[in-house]
Amino acid sequence: MSNFAFGTYRITDQNPLHIQALRDAIESGIAMIDTSSNYMDGSAEIAIALAFKEFDDEAKDKVEIVSKYGYIQGTNMLSHKEEPFDGVVEFSEVCFHSIAPSFMRDQLQKSMSRLEVNKIDTYLIHNPEYYLLDALNKNADRDDTLDAMYSRIFEAFVSLEEEVKNGRIGSYGISSNSFAKDSKDPEFLPYEDLITLADRASEKVGNDLHSFSTIQLPINILEQEGLKCASWAKENGIRVLVNRPLNAQKDGKMYRLAEYDESSEYYHHFNELLDICDNDTLKSLYNLFEELDANKHKFGWIGDFDSFLYGQILPHIRKSLENLDEDSLNTMLQYIDIFFVEYRKMVEYECSRNTRRELEEVFKECKESMQECALNFLMQRDSVDFILVGMRKASYVHETLALKSKYS
């Protein structure tokens, strides 16, 4: 049966709840924490270090740290503009990528510094297929591109084998969304030759055996194509970590495979906010909040709301409040902040109702919550070693780890 690992995709050292969730997970016996140099621009790794400060070396040694490198965003992007990194793929204006050995060494050193360790247990190349995706966007020949990409991966493997030899990492691997694609999909990343590349890399460095130990890919109850890659990995002694167990895609639509309770406080805060905005100065906000209330059931999944909130709603609110005096502004921001906490709960509730209805056929045998059924599906897969679950609250930690006992 698969184990759960703590995924830190949205974890930050600035949120005490995140730190406490990590501490509870460590104390509860979590065996693995998965992170990356670009998760929250490095603050996820800092959060892990802060959580570990309450534990002795024996407790720390029981938890494997998996980190990754590849993305050039945030502070990495600023550094790149001052002094360019090697082997960069400029995939979009906000997302550059590199798996070059020099970039790997730079990121590894920074990750170890943030994590406050001298060695990272497992270090993964993060989505190396960006080279392939960029080439496909430019109509390059796929076979030639794959050959070039394998050469890049081999160079990365050589540098990773050197880091194993130097004792800065225990083993390495690849995290790739393209492992989970259909083999006929142009974005599919073939994986059968990776062990051969690792053997060649270890031989070049002078290591007795390769240290290519791990793959990571998205698999869930809706997206099962990656199980083929997982089976290949297990047959070849490679460990399998699964991400996105509850964020699933089907027919071009995104679903959150979880159920949420309706907020009991929402309408109180909503009506309170309307009362405050019921004047000529804040009339545009009054109309905005009424419209939001009327449309809270129309979001496809919670990620759509998050994008809408930061991309459109908050800029509109900022403009509407720009003429208020400081005291009035601070008061309004407090009311608005509380409103959106409860509004988000309502969106989650409405989305989960819609998801359960739209995926009725998938969950028709499911007598428990969608999240429990979705996680249990993965727990029963022999080819899956670890399921990465985002556990940003202590309650999520205990709910998730309780499933292990329930289904053991």
pLDDT in tens, 296-325: 999 988 989 999 999 999 999 999 999 899
Three-state DSSP state, 129: coil
Are residues 63 and 51 in contact, defined by beta-carbon separation less than 8 angstroms? no
**Statement: residue 406 has pLDDT above 90:** no
| pLDDT band at residue 276 under the 50/70/90 scheme | very high
**278 lies in the same domain as 178:** no
pLDDT of amino acid 404: 84
Tell me the CA distances in angstroms from 302 to 256, 293, 345, 387, one per residue in order.
7, 15, 9, 21
**353 lies in the same domain as 371:** no
Establish if 349 belongs to a structural domain: yes
Q: What number of residues does the chain have? A: 408
Three-state DSSP state, 14: coil
d(CA 335, CA 285): 12
**71 lies in the same domain as 181:** yes
**Statement: residue 405 has pLDDT above 90:** no
d(CA 111, CA 371): 32
**353 lies in the same domain as 370:** no
**144 lies in the same domain as 60:** yes
Mean pLDDT of the chain, nearest integer: 95
**52 lies in the same domain as 190:** yes
pLDDT of amino acid 2: 85
Six token digits for residue 140: 């390059």
pLDDT of amino acid 289: 96
Establish if 255 belongs to a structural domain: no
**63 lies in the same domain as 154:** yes
Phi-psi region at 196: left, alpha or beta (left = phi > 0; alpha = psi -120 to 50): alpha
Question: For residue 113, what are the β-bridge partners?
Answer: none
d(CA 355, CA 257): 7
Establish if 346 belongs to a structural domain: yes
Establish if 258 belongs to a structural domain: no
**348 lies in the same domain as 370:** no
**183 lies in the same domain as 134:** yes
**77 lies in the same domain as 188:** yes
Question: Could you say which DSSP state residue 244 is in?
Answer: -
pLDDT in tens, 288-303: 999 999 999 999 889 8
Mean pLDDT of 153-168: 98
Backbone angles phi, psi at 122, to 5 degrees: -135, 130
The count of structural domains within the chain is: 2
DSSP string, 187-200: T----TTHHHHHHH
pLDDT in tens, 170-213: 999 999 999 999 999 999 999 999 999 999 999 999 999 999 99
Establish if 254 belongs to a structural domain: no
pLDDT of amino acid 145: 95
Establish if 256 belongs to a structural domain: no
Name the packing angle between helices 370-379 and 394-407 (round to 10°): 50
Count of helices and strands (H, E) across the chain: 16, 13
Residue 231 is part of which domain span? 3-249+366-407
Establish if 106 belongs to a structural domain: yes
CATH at 61: 3.20.20.100
**245 lies in the same domain as 272:** no
Helix (H) or strand (E) holding 95: strand 95-97
d(CA 264, CA 286): 22
Six token digits for residue 327: 């005291």
**Statement: residue 373 has pLDDT above 90:** yes
pLDDT in tens, 48-71: 999 999 999 999 999 999 999 999
d(CA 107, CA 94): 18
- Picking from 216, 209, 193, the residue whose alpha carbon sits closest to that of residue 124 is 216
% residues pLDDT > 90 (the chain) = 94
Establish if 259 belongs to a structural domain: no
**281 lies in the same domain as 386:** no
